Structure 1
């Protein structure tokens, strides 16, 4: 589902009411744990965390006018989805997350390349997501991103 929002607060207010508390908690978890340098806003119709042009003027190579995306989350029709580019770009981070997930969740991991789907908001492992947020600094992400696109 795509929401027409100009701020994270507006985005959450447009989602189904039964998801509001979980989305607010997810947002707080990310904001409390994401290293300095990333900014929060609406990007690609979701609540996004990205490297601002003031830190990385080149922006996203596919769309240089957009700041460099890092992670985001969205309320979809059947799930809440967390997107984390670092999990896709760094095998060590992916492997760490896959190994840690069962320690924090009772359900099987539902994951694509960088998308983690939570069909029930009660199953969101907030503590694990908080720890995931600490694993890659803004400078680490820029370095990883540049090494991947220059191949």
Structure 2
């Protein structure tokens, strides 16, 4: 589901009650653990944590007017989604996450390239997400991003 909102608070206010508490806790977990420099915003109908243009003027290569996205969270129709682009671009981080996930959650991991889906709100591993959120600084992320986009440009 996509919500029309101009701010994270407006987005959260539109959520069904059964999702609101989990999304608020997920938001706090990420914000409390993100390294300095990332900024919370709304992007693509989701709460998104970005590298702002003040730190990375080129912005997102898909749309340079947008800041560089890093993590997004969204309440979808059948699940709560966490999108973490570092998992997609950094194999060592993905390997770490895949190894840690079963230590925190009994159910099988439901994951795409950068999207982790939580169908059961009670199974959201907030501690693990907090640790994941703090693993990459803005400088490290910019370097990974530029390396990844350089590879795309060379194809």
Considering the TM-score relative to the shorter chain, is it more than 0.5?
Answer: yes
Q: Report the CA distance between 1:120 and its aligned residue.
A: 1.1
SS at match of 1:70: strand
SS at match of 2:82: strand
Between Structure 1 and Structure 2, how many residues are aligned? 151
Q: Which position in structure 2 is the counterpart of 1:54?
A: 54
SS at match of 1:150: helix
Q: Which position in structure 1 is the counterpart of 2:4?
A: 4
Measured on the aligned residues, the alpha-carbon RMSD in Å equals 0.5
What do residues 43-83 of structure 1 show as CA deviations (whole Å, max 9, x unaligned)?
Answer: 11100000000000000011000000001000000000000
Unaligned runs of at least 5 residues, structure 1: none
Q: Which position in structure 2 is the counterpart of 1:17?
A: 17
What do residues 25-59 of structure 1 show as CA deviations (whole Å, max 9, x unaligned)?
Answer: 00000000000000001011100000000000000
SS at match of 2:9: helix
The TM-score with structure 2 as length reference comes to 0.96
Mapped to 2, the partners of 1:81 and 1:30 lie a distance apart of: 13
Mapped to 2, the partners of 1:100 and 1:18 lie a distance apart of: 27
SS at match of 1:83: strand
SS at match of 1:42: strand
Q: Report the CA distance between 1:9 and its aligned residue.
A: 1.0
Runs of 4+ that moved beyond 2 A = none
Mapped to 1, the partners of 2:10 and 2:105 lie a distance apart of: 29
The TM-score with structure 1 as length reference comes to 0.99
What do residues 82-127 of structure 1 show as CA deviations (whole Å, max 9, x unaligned)?
Answer: 0000000000000100100000011110000000000011110000
Q: Which position in structure 2 is the counterpart of 1:131?
A: 131
